[in-house]
Structure 1
């Protein structure tokens, strides 16, 4: 699995909500005292931090997500001796903290463990080395990133059954491979259709000027289609005795606007091409950054 949130499938993010519901109930049931005693025996300060994060506010949650994402990207880019040195420093720091954590008062402990800086200790000390087993699921350190912080978000909406339903649905989706494959392929096809629909609304003014030869070909085809459409429109709507009459200024502007441009663009292009509609269209296509 990739480090960080980049490339994480939606189905997997939904699946971890099921684990989040279970862990949320587990943490809230035992409370702070249980994890303080556990930390004292195991010398693992991350358990105390997890308890505090269950009670985090929305702002703390959002900031924590950004912080964790930053360090996951940092690990991907610095997966070398440089990042290992950070782990070494953090390991020493967290060892000292685990020795002192049980000697702190409850209020001071809550303040320290919920501090933003300590989130760095939690991330760097736990995630690269930790492997845990939850019932029949083997959860790696990367997975722990997801359900830990989804758990924090869900804690603010724990009274709503909506998230439980989502978690159960996601559980069945990700547990059975045929269903998982069907779900991923279905969602991919729907997203592809959505992007195609969005692209269909783009005007010629939004052409990306990467290949000049291809762009010129598109411009030529576009002008030919517009010229043919204008000729057909004149023949259908204009009496034969009036076909040689030149359109007025407003009609020219409207014809350019019918091609997908704004009124300001049409007016500017006609002013620079002496009211020649074909030259105006070519001008707009050549100046796509206008």
Structure 2
């Protein structure tokens, strides 16, 4: 009998993600540019929502996958990301600012055409309604034209900061005890992860009367003091662009994928916990 993993190009990984509600039960992995670092980054687009990947791995750990053990105990999980963050650099470039000129109005399909990144085309269905929050929109002959508006972007960023600040204050007593200014800094730190320093972080800090150098120094401190091994989705485990769950019989180097070996004499994980419970340990 064929093994469920024998045709997979890479060893299985554990991903915590929303289950697509479509008829085919699939979402799409999209290769896009990170809005801050501008490096290639994988996103999950499903049911009209965009998700970013995070990765966590403890020093020791494995996963039980049916009758098999996956030695890699890391876990990938998806969290919602506002598409405006991802689309903001595209709309900023599309208006082609020249001196004091406010820039050009462009159609959505022009703005989302990025050579080498066809994944942006998948966002056509949601880009318009989201970007209307931060753009001037003109409609000519039933066609919409968009131009990024700095004042609308700043208003949207301030709303984001306030929403995050309120959410942080409800996380626990330690956060609730923080002063208004400390909560504001925490919220800007989170926004900063998907925002370019120039011009948006600069104008946001100026609006909120925060020192951008202090915000950047806080970020450096957080990066060096974070002990858990967390990094972007590693290349070997990163899914290729396309439908979720699509596999290949060969690895990225053209060699047949390794097969997982069953654990000889292994027991069901539930039985293991039952035995520990009964023994009172």
Query: Above 0.5 in TM-score?
Result: no
TM-score computed with the length of structure 2 as normaliser:
0.19
| Higher Cα radius of gyration | 1
TM-score computed with the length of structure 1 as normaliser:
0.19
More strand by share: 2
Q: Which has the higher contact order (CA 8 A, sep 6+)?
A: 2
